[in-house]
A and B are shown apart, each in its own frame.
Chain A
């Protein structure tokens, strides 16, 4: 499955919009893109999934361009509580590839007052 590349860290201020980009150049036709959020001392939490174009839920938006070689997680108007590590994970809708998706090191987002 496609290897992902994300920035190691990002800083932002409360109230700003934050965009975290993930590169997945070798994504396959059937693959999906998922994003997770991890707070200190907690397990990761699934926040959004997409295949193409734009997906929005109560937590975030996910933008995927036509070539699908990258994706951008957008967090609107962040607060201090959005400080966390964010992981991009490419997954495939096939049980034969179970266990093949790997988490990278993620992006540490620090929101400042």
Chain B
């Protein structure tokens, strides 16, 4: 089925560890982005990309890195995990950066940092 696939679905990290959250889409969307959602809160933009080779920071980029080497993939790297990064992470894509046709979201990665 076409859509946005995120892996893993769940992850527990120890403080200081690093890891990569994977995101892939098969809709040939130009725009991809990462959000975090803390309990009872809305979504906050971490990083986004308007095409392969182009990335930019969102509202809360500190502690995270991204790269976009292909149209399909947009991995999010946690450099040195901290308990404050405990959250649910969503990847989203859209036809273009305008999002007037809507974002398609993945099912999320629930990350716990202990």
A residues neighboring B (CB under 8 Å): 32, 34, 36, 41-46, 49, 87, 89, 91-95, 97-99, 101-106
Contact = CB atoms under 8 A, between A and B. Distances in A.
Interface string B79-106: 0000000000010100011111111111
Interface residues of B, number: 29
23 contacts: A32-B100, A41-B108, A42-B107, A43-B90, A43-B92, A44-B43, A45-B105, A46-B102, A46-B104, A49-B100, A49-B102, A87-B42, A87-B43, A94-B97, A98-B48, A99-B33, A99-B45, A99-B97, A101-B99, A103-B43, A104-B42, A105-B42, A106-B42
Contacts of B100: 32, 34, 49, 91-93
A55 B59 CA distance: 31
